[in-house]
Chains A and B, each alone.
Chain A
Amino acid sequence: QQQVKQSPQSLIVQKGGISIINCAYENTAFDYFPWYQQFPGKGPALLIAIRPDVSEKKEGRFTISFNKSAKQFSLHIMDSQPGDSATYFCAALEYGNKLVFGAGTILRVKS
């Protein structure tokens, strides 16, 4: 059962453009929503995370938008660069339970 649905599966963006990845969840008990970036052959690295008491969080070029009523959250990468090309995973956590990952989005930024 896929508890966190992530889309798109893959994404191609021109350098300087905005990359947008979306996730949706069903479990209203989730209270922590991180995004991870993974390069080939490496483990995932925590990029940015948000809790449901805020609607937006920004760190540098990365922004999470959170819509609690719609049970959706998204990652926006502004001014996308070729070095951002990686696989991105959204995830959700219910306190005390295991982290649930989305299926992943392969991002390619064309120079």
Chain B
Amino acid sequence: QVQLQESGPGLVKPSQTLSLTCTVSGGSISSGGYYWSWIRQHPGKGLEWIGYIYYSGSTYYNPSLKSRVTISVDTSKNQFSLKLSSVTAADTAVYYCARVDSSGYMPRYFDYWGQGTLVTVSS
């Protein structure tokens, strides 16, 4: 059974960089066939996709966040990470990591999710 677990600071100051890590267990990121993604949810709101990465390092980002987002992968630790720069209060949200099933190289659906971690941007 694949499990994902987010970790990182729960409080980030405005203008700083939000950094989160997702640790994957029960499966190898390097095995291929899946993408690894970050999604966030503002308090009381819907889901917003941030981006995803393949184990090779290829990335796709939400165009609305692309200028501030970096997603990276560390296959030796079976982890992938999110960095979001120049944060403001509008970046306060629950951040989820998730696995994306794929068909060939086409992403499909999010089949496993982490429990989510609340990140608050405040001074």
Chains A and B bind each other: no
